[in-house]
Amino acid sequence: MRSKINRMMANEFFQGSVLLVIANFIIGFLNYLFNSLSAKTLGPAKYGEITTFFAYTLVLSVPMQIISAEIIRRLGAVTTEKSRLVYLWEKWLIEKAKRWFWLIVPYFGLVAVLPKVTNLSYSFSFALLLSLLTSLISVFFMASFQGLRLFNYYVAFMIFGVFIKLLGPVFVYFGAGQLNTIFIFLVLSAVSPLTVICLLFRKIVPVDHNHVPVRKNLRKVIFNRSIIFLGLSLWGISLFNNLDMIYVKKFFPTIDAGLYGAWNLMAKIVGYVLGPVSTVAFIYFSSKENEKKHNRALILIIGLFVLSAVFLFGGYYFFGKIFIDFIFNKSYYPIIPYLPWAAVFGFFYSLVAILNNYSLAKKKHLLLTVMAAVPFYLAGLVLFGKDMQSVVTVDVIFALVVTIAYGGGIILGK
């Protein structure tokens, strides 16, 4: 038994999983501090700007998630010379970047029109474009770290970026500026990690100058059936997570948008705490080993989410004011009556995320459920989302219906 434990502890995948779980907790905690300090120091109106910025960032970053998953998958399929493959990909990407570099001018020219579409300020529209561009570049490096099993570098750069972002509201808390300070550190959090990665990548990953042809037919990659399914699944979850915030920012007063952003954060606390469980569960469900135990594991995870939701609902119902005072301030008291519903919505959202991961790992068509339902979600927001209470109602009903659809599909084996 001891020898088996020692072998498991020495396994790089086990070590990487433990490291990723710890990193997810740290990153989740730092993000919680960022949101809490930003909300306290800026007030609802300006905080709404930040929550909407991240909503758009997450929705528009889905292609980067797809690229990351494909790079990791392809590196995992190679048994030898992984670093050579990474080097050749890097060379090819640099060639393409040089060829299409001129597009950067019209790309940042979108700053002129984004505020009219998103209701973001010009500065945060610029930050959004910059964040997406740096994510597109850095996704190759970060995915390569994971594919090469250099999890320590991946984790270090992730935490580095979030820490720089956190410095923004910390400085504001001590009286150094307002929203402009947070904007500056958001820009730095996008640029600084990428700069360090570019400087160190060749030292971290050995360079092999052998010239081996690389397949460059992107059309076959992009239109691969599994890639399309993965993309639709990720986009569905991302829209489910952020469409309400985007809608509220676009059509509601700025103060209401900030209040709703705070309510949304309270709903996603379950995700902050149990997010690592979802990550590890996806890895576990993807494994062919102990496949018969997967359903039992899914039931145990659902039970954990139910237990967490019950405690959170009770806490919000009986001690809502204490939660708001601790995380925000009295400016956010108007959301207290809606806090129990935040626990309900957060529970259903987390459940949908874990069921979607299960379907994704099992390659079930059920993973398209959220994306197929998103148009109805948008229609519900447009038709019935006239104030905060009605938006909350639409959120909860939609999340409940999607959860039932997933549960029914899994039971029927779809």
Quick one: 64 and 97 in the same domain?
A: yes
- Give start and end residues of each alpha helix (H) in 78-121: 82-99, 104-109, 114-118
161 found inside a domain: yes
Are residues 197 and 185 part of one domain?
Answer: yes
Burial group, residue 336, by CB count within 10 angstroms (0-12, 13-18, 19+):
middle
Same domain, 97 and 27: yes
Q: Based on the fold, state whether residues 250 and 359 are members of the same structural domain.
A: yes
Can you point out the beta strands (E) in 206-332?
none
- Residue that is last in its domain, among 194, 223, 252: 223
Considering the domain boundaries, does residue 7 fall inside one? no
154 and 214 in contact (C-beta within 8 Å)? no
Whole-model pTM: value is 0.83
User: Would you tell me how many other CB atoms lie within 10 Å of the CB of residue 229?
Assistant: 18
Residues 200 and 249 in one domain: no
- Domain boundary, last residue among 198, 223, 248: 223
User: Could you list the residue range(s) of the whole structural domain that residue 81 is in?
Assistant: 12-223
Separation CA 2–CA 134 (nearest Å): 46
Question: How far apart, in Å, are the Cα atoms of 399 and each of 205, 221, 222, 262, 347?
Answer: 43, 32, 30, 19, 9
**Domain match, 378 and 298 both:** yes
Are 116 and 165 contained in the same domain? Answer: yes
Shared domain for 183 and 166, answered yes or no, is: yes
- Distances from the Cα of 128 to the Cα of 111, 137, 209, 279, angstroms: 9, 14, 36, 26
The beta-strand segments (E) located in 169-312 are none
Task: Determine which helix (DSSP H) or strand (DSSP E) holds 232, and give its type and residue range.
Answer: helix 225-251
Regarding whether 302 and 245 lie in a shared domain, the answer is yes
CA distances from 219 to 64, 94, 185, 201, 227 (A): 16, 19, 37, 28, 11
Co-location of 218 and 236 in the same domain: no
Per-residue pLDDT in tens (0 to 9) along the chain, 414 residues:
555 555 555 555 566 667 777 888 888 889 989 999 999 999 998 999 999 999 999 999 988 888 887 787 777 666 667 777 777 777 888 888 888 888 899 999 999 999 999 999 999 999 999 999 999 889 888 888 887 878 888 889 999 999 999 999 999 999 888 899 999 999 999 999 999 998 888 788 766 555 544 454 545 555 566 777 778 888 888 899 899 999 999 999 999 999 999 999 999 887 776 666 776 676 667 666 666 777 788 888 888 888 888 999 999 999 999 999 999 989 999 999 999 999 999 999 988 888 888 887 776 777 788 889 999 999 999 999 999 999 999 999 999 999 999 888 877 765
Tell whether 6 is covered by a domain: no
Do 293 and 207 lie in a common domain? no
